[in-house]
Structure 1
Amino acid sequence: MLRTLWGSTIGKKAVMAVSGLMMLIYLLVHMFGNLKVFFGPAEMNGYAHWLRTFGSPVLHYEWFLWVARVVLLAAVVLHGVSAYQLSRRDIAARPVKYRRRRTDYATRTMRWGGIILALFIVWHVLDLTTGTVNPRGQAGHPYENIVAGFQNWYANAIYIVAMLAVGLHIRHGFWSAAQTLGVTRPGAARLLKATATVLAVVITAGFLSVPIGVMTGVVK
């Protein structure tokens, strides 16, 4: 049954929708966690420590984080592979291009946005998870690492471009997921579109507030 589901176009779209919603939930939680940077190093670093000890004593140190990382990685891989395979199927089914329509812009945005986000994830992990490219790169001190990282103009530029891509991706992706999962009843369409816009704006603004806070000296 799983093989049949994965092999069908609607199955791949369903996988994209569910994995996309999982990543959306993660982004919301991650955004609210990032906002703790505005309450000082004790609050931010304490939150980071809590994440590593969550579930104790049942779970060992950092087990919760590793489970979350594995689930998130699986969602990202399934989302990306589904998107690529659906794109190839679309091209194979229609070798002659359609006349350009308004939806083409959204489609191109989703494709390029996905590539931008994939590259950003690699950078983000090297910057604030492993500390490899971070000027400070000290484990257990996310507040200080964030301040050090966003004092570089190129880090800010990378982050801002990626977060704008996130917003566009969410705006179109949330609506597409709702259509795939069949929850776009006539009366709910307008509400779902408004929800997609609000989510995109809130998440983008929430993430962008951190580098802006560092650049303006609010976070220092």
Structure 2
Amino acid sequence: MPILVRGFLSLINAGERSNVRTVISTLTRTQSARSLWSTTIGKKAVMAATGLIMLFFLVLHMLGNLKVFFGSSDFDRYAAWLRIIGEPVLPYSWFLWIQRAILLVALVLHITAAAQLSFRDRRARPVSYAHGQRLRATFATRTMRYGGVILALFIVWHLLDLTLGVVNPDFNPNSPYHNVVKDFQVWWINLIYIVAVVLLGVHINHGFWSASQTLGVNRPTRDKAIKAIGSTLAVALTVGFVFVPIGVMTGLVN
């Protein structure tokens, strides 16, 4: 601790000294967090952590969506149950709003870190890759940036469509099952949804491996296993999400 701070602490009583130390410790941690955020590895760590938070949500969301195959009463009951989780400790719908707030913060941090890293990368390498290097880049890596932008736009549209009902003329706030079925009876909505889900799968396939690298989980001996887990998650989520519009289109869900 700096000499000036130690001298100041010696002039105050024990209780105040403890409070000052707490404030100084908090400021130090805040400065450390800002310093970490300013580094490339810090931004990558934020991207990895927020990506895993959103991945966990997506797994649960996909499993919940599959309830649509059990009929309208089961699906609507499931949607209603989401609003009473935590009662009576939490007021009605608070769990959903807390979840949405966490996801919103995670999404904003994820996008911000990605945009800043992309800007740094372009600034550090003003000359494009040689042709051979570009060919060696994987399909997932090349599409992460633009796929991420498309996914962000899709999330906005998806919320306006099935959560808020702003762009859904048949929206019924009391029947999520009705909203899903009516939505996926429109071919162009299915097309948008399926393209977005495929891009999501590509994003997860590469992002899961990249996150394991950033967080230090991956090792040469674990590389194949990490890639296999990422690919399995990507395929399972893609198939699970796409299965719903296909079910509506084929009459399995009506």
Instruction: Give the TM-score, by structure 1 length.
Output: 0.98
What residue number does 1:57 align with?
88
Contact 1:134–1:148, Cα closer than 8 Å, also in 2: no
After superposition, give the CA deviation of every residue in 1:143-196 in whole Å (9 maximum; x if it has no partner): 010000111111101100100000000000000000001111121110000001
**Where do residues 167-186 of structure 1 align in structure 2 (5 Å cutoff)?**
167-186=201-220
What residue number does 2:105 align with?
74
May I ask how many residue pairs the two structures share in their alignment?
220
What residue number does 1:188 align with?
222
What residue number does 1:213 align with?
247
After superposition, give the CA deviation of every residue in 1:36-92 in whole Å (9 maximum; x if it has no partner): 000001110001000001100111111000000000011111000000000110111
| 1:156 and 2:194 aligned | no
Amino acid of the residue matched to residue 105 of structure 2? A
Q: Which of residues 14, 19, 40 in structure 2 aligns to 1:9?
A: 40
Measure the CA separation in 1 of the matches of 2:94 and 2:140: 38
Higher Cα Rg, which structure = 2
| 1:141 and 2:172 aligned | no
Contact 1:49–1:140, Cα closer than 8 Å, also in 2: no
Q: Secondary structure at the match of 1:66?
A: helix
Q: Which of residues 5, 26, 33 in structure 1 aligns to 2:57?
A: 26
Call closer, same or farther: CA 1:104–1:187 in 2, change over 3 Å.
Answer: closer
Q: Which of residues 186, 199, 202 in structure 1 aligns to 2:236?
A: 202
Q: For the aligned residues, what is the CA RMSD?
A: 0.9
**Where do residues 68-107 of structure 1 align in structure 2 (5 Å cutoff)?**
68-99=99-130, 100-103=134-137, 105-107=139-141
Measure the CA separation in 1 of the matches of 2:91 and 2:137: 48
Measure the CA separation in 2 of the matches of 1:21 and 1:73: 14
| Shift of residue 104, structure 1, vs aligned partner | 5.4
Measure the CA separation in 2 of the matches of 1:102 and 1:74: 34
Measure the CA separation in 2 of the matches of 1:101 and 1:136: 46
Measure the CA separation in 2 of the matches of 1:3 and 1:58: 35
What residue number does 2:145 align with?
111
| Shift of residue 135, structure 1, vs aligned partner | 3.3
Amino acid of the residue matched to residue 6 of structure 1? W
Identity of aligned residues (%): 60
| Shift of residue 105, structure 1, vs aligned partner | 3.1
Measure the CA separation in 1 of the matches of 2:225 and 2:42: 26
Measure the CA separation in 2 of the matches of 1:102 and 1:16: 24
Amino acid of the residue matched to residue 212 of structure 2? A
Contact 1:37–1:43, Cα closer than 8 Å, also in 2: yes
Measure the CA separation in 2 of the matches of 1:74 and 1:207: 24
Amino acid of the residue matched to residue 172 of structure 2? Q
Instruction: Give the TM-score, by structure 2 length.
Output: 0.85
Measure the CA separation in 2 of the matches of 1:39 and 1:62: 24
Measure the CA separation in 2 of the matches of 1:31 and 1:102: 33
> Where in structure 2 are there 5+ consecutive unaligned residues?
1-31
